[in-house]
Structure 1
């Protein structure tokens, strides 16, 4: 993730800002400060719209979804510098000007103020907000808690405005300051109902500031500028993605998602008008271009998926895992086997935005997963090289759901031998198979017949008019009896066959008698569900 946030993200912002800024200055003959604001403003993309589109389409954990999120994250960080820079390059400022020296002085001042702001965030978050919120939390008054959050946001915004900076920057810093406290989750929960409302109000305010007559009278100029923005920015972002090792199709999809403008462009252009950097008519034209481009984001995402389905070759070579496509994963899940069970696990992980990769040796299953924009690759999960290419050394767990007992055993053995840090959870055909899997190094083993059988039995019992409570009791008693028998079998075999829940299993008595300690010794094992 760091590679794409600070590598791809920073390169995208700087390159796009430079290209757009130079074009605005030399082609359209705009002053230097105006070109800087326009370049940086159009380099940004809409975090709110793009993330919503990715979430609705189920592409947040896909390759292009992760790269897009990384770039958006850096763009949100770059907004801070832009909001600090705008007042400093204003013609009304004592440091304002077009020359390089004036811009360098403005950037230097921005760096100093950024350091001061970060210091204030740390000091305020640790010294002031924690005791205040702790006292409010002890009173258990939700209204005062919410009112104090609004006070912090408005107060920080007023302080930054007094310092000659943007109020939007103050609101941004207030969010960082609140995030430093242990009350951040409650704050987020309190403001969640207002987030969509305020975002809608923001876009309504921007829309009301747009003159429809301006759209009609300058339609060719707006259409040409809009096309230039989407095509030029999209191609530039796609090329940068290819440089950072992203596949061609995924790079095109990232470019299409990031090509439109973003909501922070409205803030930047509006602030630039107040500072005398941009004219009202030029800012209105830019508002129209950015607003229309944001509205096109869902259609651009759909176009990217159409391109992927049309031009992505579905031969085995294109389905093989590539190390450069998984090197941004950290603490992810490896799903070995993309059959019915593996697909359900992948769906659950996708809904919770948990990163994962899946492996299967059937190309039709891999093609099916790729069609859903899931990170599914063709490869033998029992191969050390294949596991390395999907980042097994950085993974936290593996779910092994292969079709044959032998394949499951070989995969567990490979992970246990070459990647011992990965916790392996595997399904077993029967108890004997489960014991062998545990001996191969499995962390927990789940029988593939127990729970489906119990669910089927519960459905049959429901047709006999038994009460629901009695059915639940019968099923639980059978499960408990099965666990007791399984525990005895495992003790006899010297294992601790696991099915998900941790427990402590005592050592054999012969070992306990031979111990010098008077306390009973235990070893850690696992218990079935």
Structure 2
């Protein structure tokens, strides 16, 4: 009998295999997820059998999903999450309930499985892989796209639905002391679970808002990087264990912790600190999924497994498309959401394993389902690519498909509007996408809109000076607008329309010259940015650097020139009796150094600085 490997050696083999697969994926041009899955198949019990006990590896690999959800929480905010409640509890609940019902009925009446087994299989296959799907969305830069937001909302609800499923399994077991399905027993268990979950979530949110900022502030003042990182790990693991004790998933607790830390000024450093742990543990998780795929079982039951896999992917996609249309999602976006949610998820392994322990399902059936779920998860990157291909083929054939639809932006709150998707608008969109800040872009060039759509960005065809178009992209709920249209007249019309019909929006606009800037300011612009000043200063800085001037001297020279230029502009405007353009201070002609109180609020727009 082969000797069992120590846990440390198992992790060492996992790391070596993952590094090898990541090295070769550069030449194969595939996603890292597939590399990790291949590594798991290779070294797992059904491959070279280097690692035979997968359960021990899964225990630590689960923290990869925990760190991924924590990172997602860091990139969101409570306000943005509340704006997604329609999709979290509406679209998410509909997807889980309808899919579970359809799959369960097919399993019971077509496959001949007993009622309890059909319930478990239906609910287990209705779930999707949070870890794989979110990783694919991040790699493809689609997290802020329409279908990306809808997909994330459904996944978030599925994490909550897992709790109900795991509570339900022991209650419907033939080995249950209740003697099978009992409505009263189920209602009591679910009610108790709901109370425990509410208490745990309330404790995390209340404690986080009261304690996180003061604790991190105190640690930051000590300037000890090790303690800062250790405190972050403590927060992640503590909230995860708290939700686990309440019967919820560990990932949900980590997500709440990230959501609360996103409201503090320490979120960027926290995100940087956890990046190595997240990548390492997430890779380990994908490898454990690969270890559950048995190539020999696949060959022995190839027709059955492939048929079940095809029904799962096609059936879930069709159901999600139908449900998505009912919630106002366009047909193309609904198809992309369906393709991402069609594969099974990691919680199916947990549910089916528990069903075997409770005598609901046979080990042979669970092994086949493990294989179907594992293969479907491995296909997720290709399904996402297929969705993009469908969008590029069908969505851009008609200009009408590029027009904004109100139902596609009704989940946005506090977003940014980019008016003009030329070079400047594209740069702004890229910066916002990298920070997962929601935005909507408008342009009257169908070619530019097509470019944005091909990159899965929310870019629409429409006149930014039209009240109707602005209303359709949620201008009444937006917080700011960046206006970078091609002509001075178009910029003026856009500023005027936003100022007149949506006065709560802060408008930041580029100006061609001084007169244009003054007119824009009179139209209601919050801040006007000169079109030539900053590019000229950047070119001058590059030339000075080539002339071997020290970096500090270059910065001083550039800042002095900028201050002198703005002072001259202020004096010119005062002499002519006009207000000051370009969004700079109206009260002083010379800039003054910022005081500590000026920098205490990062969200304050300080006049006298560039927008």
Check whether TM > 0.5. yes
Deviations 1:205-250 (A, max 9, x none): 4444444332221111111100000011111111111222211211
Cα pair distance change 1:202/1:94, threshold 3 Å: farther
Range moving further from structure 2, 105-114 or 193-202: 193-202
For 1:321 and 1:90, the matched residues in 2 are separated by 50
Q: Distance between the aligned counterparts of 2:478 and 2:209, measured in 1?
A: 37
Where do residues 357-506 of structure 1 align in structure 2 (5 Å cutoff)? 357-493=440-576, 497=580, 499=582, 505=587
The aligned counterpart of 1:17 is 100
Take 1:17 and 1:489, find their aligned partners in 2: how far apart are those partners? 70
Q: For the Cα contact (< 8 Å) 1:121–1:173, is it kept in 2?
A: no
SS of 1:353's partner is coil
**Please, which of 321, 326, 334 is the counterpart of residue 238 of structure 1?**
321
Residues in 2 aligned to 1:191 and 1:466: alpha-carbon distance in whole angstroms: 38
The match for 1:114 among 194, 201, 205 is 194
Paired residue for 2:133? Answer: 50
3-state SS in 2 of match to 1:527: coil
Counterpart position of 2:147: 64
1:278 pairs with 2:361 = yes
Equivalenced residue count is: 502
Larger displacement relative to structure 2 (286-295 or 2-11): 2-11
Q: Gapped runs of 5+ residues in structure 2?
A: 1-83, 590-604
8 Å contact from structure 1 (residues 498, 525) kept in 2: no
Structure-2 separation of matches of 1:147 and 1:77: 23
Q: Are the aligned partners of 1:443 and 1:498 in contact in 2 as well (CA < 8 Å)?
A: no
Whole-angstrom distance in 2 between the partners of 1:253 and 1:413: 37
The alpha-carbon deviation at position 87 of structure 1 amounts to 2.4
CA 1:440/1:244 → structure 2, altered by over 3 Å: closer, same or farther?
A: same
State which drifts further: 169-178 or 32-41.
169-178
Give 1:481 deviation, angstroms: 0.4
Instruction: Give how far 1:146 is off.
Output: 7.1
The counterpart of 1:8, out of the listed 88, 91, 95, is 91
- CA spacing shift, 1:413–1:131, aligned 2, 3 Å: closer
Aligned to 1:511: none
Change beyond 3 A, Cα 1:464–1:132: closer
Q: CA deviation at 1:177?
A: 7.8
| 1:519 corresponds to | none
Larger Rg computed on CA atoms: 1
- Is 1:312 equivalent to 2:395 in the alignment? yes
With CA pairs under 8 Å and 6+ residues apart, which has the higher RCO, 1 or 2? Answer: 2
Deviation at 1:145, TM superposition (A): 4.5
**1:171 pairs with 242, 250, 257, which one?**
250
Equivalent residue number for residue 327 of structure 1: 410
Which residue of the partner structure matches residue 331 of structure 2?
248
1:500/1:526 contact within 8 Å kept: yes
Deviations 1:484-510 (A, max 9, x none): 112223434556536467x57279xxx
In structure 2, C-alpha distance between the alignment counterparts of 1:115 and 1:335, rounded to whole Å: 44
* Contact 1:490-1:496 at 8 Å conserved across structures: yes
Q: TM-score, normalised by structure 2?
A: 0.75
Aligned partners of 1:428 and 1:448 also within 8 Å = yes
Q: Is the 8 A contact 2:171 2:180 kept in 1?
A: no
Shift of 1:7: 1.3
* Distance of 1:229 and 1:319 partners within structure 2: 31
Q: Are the equivalent residues in 1 in contact too, given 2:240–2:251 (CA < 8 A)?
A: no
SS of the residue corresponding to residue 96 of structure 2 reads helix
Question: Structure 1: where are the runs of 5+ without partners?
Answer: 508-523
Q: 2:306 aligns with which of 223, 246, 268?
A: 223
User: What residue in structure 2 maps to residue 527 of structure 1?
Assistant: 608
The CA distance in 2 between the partners of 1:150 and 1:383, in whole Å, is 47
Distance (whole Å) between structure 1 residues aligned to residue 430 and residue 86 of structure 2 = 27
- Please list the CA deviations of residues 383-418 of structure 1 after superposition, one character each: whole Å capped at 9, or x if unmatched: 111111111001110000011111111110100000
SS where residue 557 of structure 2 aligns? Answer: helix
Deviation at 1:113, TM superposition (A): 2.4
- Does the 8 A contact of 2:142 with 2:456 survive in 1? yes
Kept in 2, the 8 Å contact 1:234–1:256? The answer is yes
Q: 1:231 to 1:480 in 2, by over 3 A?
A: same
Alpha-carbon distance change, 32 to 68 in structure 1, aligned in 2, over 3 angstroms: same
Task: Assess if the C-alpha contact under 8 Å between 1:9 and 1:75 holds in 2.
Answer: yes
Contact 1:497 1:526 in 2 (8 A): no
SS of residue paired to 1:505: coil
Moved more, 59-68 or 185-194: 185-194
Deviation at 1:436, TM superposition (A): 1.1
Distance 1:132 1:449 in 2: 44
TM-score normalised over the length of structure 1: 0.85
The root-mean-square deviation of aligned C-alpha atoms, in Å, is 3.3
| Larger CA deviation: 229-238 vs 369-378 | 369-378
Give 2:48's aligned residue: none
Question: Quick check: 2:441–2:460 contact (8 Å CA) kept in 1?
Answer: yes
Aligned equivalent of 1:292, options 375, 391, 395: 375
> In the aligned structure 2, how far is the partner of 1:60 from the partner of 1:445?
31
C-alpha distance in structure 2 between counterparts of 1:122 and 1:128, whole Å:
10
Report the counterpart of residue 73 of structure 2 in structure 1. Answer: none
Equivalent residues in 2 for 1:325-364, closer than 5 Å: 325-364=408-447
Moved more, 485-494 or 62-71: 485-494
Closer, same or farther: CA 405–470 of 1 in aligned 2, 3 Å: same
How much has 1:66 moved relative to structure 2? Answer: 1.6
Distance 1:107 1:66 in 2: 32
